Structure 1
Amino acid sequence: MTGDTRDAGRRARLLDVGLAVAIGAAVTVAALAASAPGVLDLVLVAIGSLALAEHRRAPRAVLVVTTLAMFGYVLHAHPGTWAAFPVLAAVHAAARSGHRARGVAAGALFLAGYFAVLITVSPAVEDVVERTLLLLGWFLCAGVTGLIDKNWQAYLRQTEQRALDAERTRDETALRRAGEERLRIARELHDSLTHSISIVKLQAGVAVHLARKRGTEVEPALLAIQEASGEAMRELRATLEVLRTDVVEPGTGLDRIGELAERARSAGITLALIVSGDERPLPAAVDRAAYRIVQEALTNVARHADRAPTTVRLAYGPSALTVHVDDHGPCGPDDTVTAGTGLTGMRERVTALGGTLAAAPRRAGGFSVRAELPLYSAGSGG
């Protein structure tokens, strides 16, 4: 994890704790101003408020704990509308995390319970109705602002992802152009220098042969020319071989999988990376394909699975590498998934290596990508 990512996570954590403490303090002050709350009342307020500090990690659990604690406080102390503040924050957090239905259900249950409790103890029915309607408006605002926040965060993530994709495309274009330029230079060198050096070497060899045939001493300069021309030819061939070698794409091998994982975590994905088996160098084509499969799967998690917790497993077998990416996103087991360009390209890479790819919703929810890549196939370069 990079320093920037740790600092951002630490700041978010401090902000959540500070918000929870502030809400708890505000509700406690309001309770003290309205009456003399007992120990149980203060404990319930503390539980309902401080639970909000975990709203990013466990929004559903926070919603349940906060709603039950504050309803228990309403049932015991019959407070004013300010008792709903922690529940409003929990509903907002649930909507922001994509649990809109649960937020609506919790808000509705709290409102119903609040109305039922106060209507039985207060003779002012109109006042109770006004309070409940006021709370209804607040809950609607909490849910709407949560959805707005969720959509805004998704927009920011998509913008960042588009920028990364554009940068990757520019890098790949520059790399392709560099490769084309290298081939052009190799052709120019071959067409010009190779011919000239060959002529020099040939003429020097003929001159040496004729001198020896006549029984005369071969000039040292002539021998030096013959030797130098041969060495120049060997060096030129080696240079041409290097220039014609395929360019290996930077940053597209499993040696960079750690950097890819950190980028995914910095984008908000809770990622676990598990490597098993005898980790060792792979054929270049398999190495690049494995990296691209993980990269595309994580891109799909960011775009379509709302940064759901994800596990990446790399299993090194005797004859194959298995790449397994599971996310816990909103995709259901019966959902229909249309293969886009990402999944199609992934399948083409795997097929070209003689491997197999399975990409489908998981029975427990979320999406799974599993690729098995032979290590010594015709297309692996092994």
Structure 2
Amino acid sequence: MRRDLPYALSALALGALLLGNAALAPDAAAVGAVDVVLVLAMTVALAACRRYPVVALGVVTVAMLALHVRVHPGVSAAFPVLAAVYVAAWRGQRAASALASLAFLGGFLTRDISTAPAGHLVVERTPLLLGWFVAANVAGLVARQRRAYLEQVEQRAIEAERTREEMALRRAGEERLRIARDLHDSLTHSISVIKVQAGIAVHLARKHGEQPSATLLAIQEASSAAMRELRTTLDVLRSPSDEDRLGLARVDELAERTRAVGVPVRVTVAGEPRELPAEVDQAGYRVVQEALTNVARHAGPATANVHVEYAPARLTVSVTDDGQASPAHPMTPGVGLRGMRERVTGLGGTLRATANDDNGFTVRATIPLDGPGATERPREVPPARRAAEPR
């Protein structure tokens, strides 16, 4: 209701202006009860023109033409119609606003022409009214385009912020896993060697009937405590976060965000969706995410098709668009495409990214469900080092 209040106040002001002008104009007829009803109808219609632009435009046009024929208040009868035409054009009803403009101009000028004493006014009023109505239609269209542009800019800003947050989370997760790998490959090995050597020394001392020294026992205990703390640290670094829980179940969210920036997206799923290994599920999500991002940035006016196929032994995801890419102008692989390829090949899969023969681009990733990253497998280590591996 608050958004309709400015329209209602403007309509009341126009109604008062019409009645006052009709009462003061020297060539206007007396205002009767029917004329007051016409002004009230115009006021109510203008108050509701934001929600019902076409209906309001029709009521205002008919009411003002009738008032002009009955009372002849002058060009002031065009003011409410101009306001309704502007709102209708702003709301996207271009045909209705143009038709109402022509209808009112035709009826208004016909009445003036038919009135012999006022025939000379037609030459003066025709260009004036014509300019007003053209300006109202153009202003409404410009206002609509500006609003659409601002909404698009706002949506792009929101999408850019969301993308930056996701990239920051992904980089933080990758850095966390890199630190965990470095700790596991370097520090864990060194502490394990210390622990094993201390344990062997204690065992040999007791085997020869000697009491291990306090220093040796302290080294054994400290290395065991260090291993426990290091395992806890590695568990924390490798623990799943919100970033790591992203999977193909959220592909519809990606599609909706891409539609919000003006790219139509269709998602199809073949096979029975099921629980996938976490690495495979996240890799499939990332391929779709990066491919849709590239469509939005580089494909120009295009439509994207996302296809997810669940097979018994593999997962296949593909994103195809009908944008500007072509075999004659191949795309230079960027960081995102290289990242997709590394993620997929790291799981034993394959990724194909190429321009289509009939324009557009296709990204297709096939990931085996029993690849190297799909399941946790024990590593084969030499017997001398098995006791040194963290458990």
Q: TM-score, normalised by structure 2?
A: 0.62
- Cα distance in 1 for partners of 2:307, 2:16 equals 57
2:255 aligns to what?
A: 293
C-alpha contact 1:24 1:50 (8 A) present in aligned 2:
no
- Pairs within 5 Å for 1:45-56: 45-56=39-50
User: Is it true that 1:60 corresponds to 2:54 in the alignment?
Assistant: yes
The alpha-carbon distance between structure 1 residues 238 and 346, as it changes in their structure 2 partners (threshold 3 A), is farther
1:243 aligns to what?
A: 237
2:20 aligns to what?
A: 29
State the 1:116 CA deviation.
Answer: 2.5
- Cα distance in 1 for partners of 2:118, 2:55 equals 35
- Cα distance in 1 for partners of 2:2, 2:214 equals 77
C-alpha contact 2:152 2:261 (8 A) present in aligned 1:
no
Gapped regions of structure 2 (runs ≥ 5)? 265-271, 275-293, 322-367, 375-391
The alpha-carbon distance between structure 1 residues 127 and 187, as it changes in their structure 2 partners (threshold 3 A), is same
2:295 aligns to what?
A: 341
- Cα distance in 1 for partners of 2:145, 2:113 equals 38
The alpha-carbon distance between structure 1 residues 350 and 135, as it changes in their structure 2 partners (threshold 3 A), is farther
User: Is it true that 1:130 corresponds to 2:124 in the alignment?
Assistant: yes
User: Is it true that 1:16 corresponds to 2:4 in the alignment?
Assistant: no
C-alpha contact 1:186 1:244 (8 A) present in aligned 2:
yes
- Pairs within 5 Å for 1:347-362: 347-348=305-306, 350=308
RMSD (CA atoms): 4.0
The alpha-carbon distance between structure 1 residues 72 and 287, as it changes in their structure 2 partners (threshold 3 A), is farther
State the 1:60 CA deviation.
Answer: 1.9
Secondary structure, in 3 states, of the residue corresponding to 1:347? strand
C-alpha contact 1:111 1:135 (8 A) present in aligned 2:
yes
- Pairs within 5 Å for 1:370-381: none
Deviations, residues 105-132 of structure 1 (Å, cap 9, x unaligned):
1110111122223333443322134334
The alpha-carbon distance between structure 1 residues 21 and 226, as it changes in their structure 2 partners (threshold 3 A), is farther
- Cα distance in 2 for partners of 1:354, 1:17 equals 58
- The correspondence for 1:112, drawn from 98, 106, 115, is 106
User: Is it true that 1:209 corresponds to 2:203 in the alignment?
Assistant: yes
The alpha-carbon distance between structure 1 residues 218 and 346, as it changes in their structure 2 partners (threshold 3 A), is farther
> Which 10-residue stretch deviates more, 37-46 or 135-144?
37-46
> Which 10-residue stretch deviates more, 344-353 or 22-31?
344-353
- Cα distance in 1 for partners of 2:183, 2:33 equals 89
- Cα distance in 2 for partners of 1:21, 1:45 equals 9
The alpha-carbon distance between structure 1 residues 49 and 135, as it changes in their structure 2 partners (threshold 3 A), is farther
The alpha-carbon distance between structure 1 residues 206 and 181, as it changes in their structure 2 partners (threshold 3 A), is same
2:144 aligns to what?
A: 150
The alpha-carbon distance between structure 1 residues 48 and 345, as it changes in their structure 2 partners (threshold 3 A), is closer
User: Is it true that 1:102 corresponds to 2:60 in the alignment?
Assistant: no
User: Is it true that 1:172 corresponds to 2:166 in the alignment?
Assistant: yes
The alpha-carbon distance between structure 1 residues 150 and 289, as it changes in their structure 2 partners (threshold 3 A), is same
Q: TM-score, normalised by structure 1?
A: 0.63
- Cα distance in 1 for partners of 2:163, 2:246 equals 20
- Pairs within 5 Å for 1:302-341: 341=295
- Cα distance in 2 for partners of 1:117, 1:224 equals 111
- Cα distance in 1 for partners of 2:45, 2:262 equals 32
Secondary structure, in 3 states, of the residue corresponding to 2:80? helix
Deviations, residues 67-96 of structure 1 (Å, cap 9, x unaligned):
222223223333311111111011111211
- Cα distance in 2 for partners of 1:348, 1:82 equals 57
C-alpha contact 1:52 1:62 (8 A) present in aligned 2:
yes
Secondary structure, in 3 states, of the residue corresponding to 1:123? helix
Of structures 1 and 2, the larger Rg is shown by 2
Secondary structure, in 3 states, of the residue corresponding to 2:30? coil
- The correspondence for 1:194, drawn from 176, 179, 188, is 188
State the 1:171 CA deviation.
Answer: 2.4
- Cα distance in 2 for partners of 1:239, 1:156 equals 48
State the 1:216 CA deviation.
Answer: 4.5
C-alpha contact 1:114 1:132 (8 A) present in aligned 2:
no
2:356 aligns to what?
A: none
C-alpha contact 1:208 1:223 (8 A) present in aligned 2:
yes
- Cα distance in 2 for partners of 1:169, 1:127 equals 62
Residue identity over aligned pairs, in percent, reads: 48
C-alpha contact 1:197 1:229 (8 A) present in aligned 2:
yes
- Cα distance in 2 for partners of 1:350, 1:58 equals 43
The alpha-carbon distance between structure 1 residues 284 and 164, as it changes in their structure 2 partners (threshold 3 A), is closer
The alpha-carbon distance between structure 1 residues 160 and 191, as it changes in their structure 2 partners (threshold 3 A), is same
The alpha-carbon distance between structure 1 residues 54 and 37, as it changes in their structure 2 partners (threshold 3 A), is same
State the 1:59 CA deviation.
Answer: 1.9
2:156 aligns to what?
A: 162
Gapped regions of structure 1 (runs ≥ 5)? 1-9, 251-282, 305-317, 321-339, 360-376
- The correspondence for 1:86, drawn from 59, 80, 83, is 80
User: Is it true that 1:74 corresponds to 2:68 in the alignment?
Assistant: yes
The alpha-carbon distance between structure 1 residues 12 and 156, as it changes in their structure 2 partners (threshold 3 A), is same
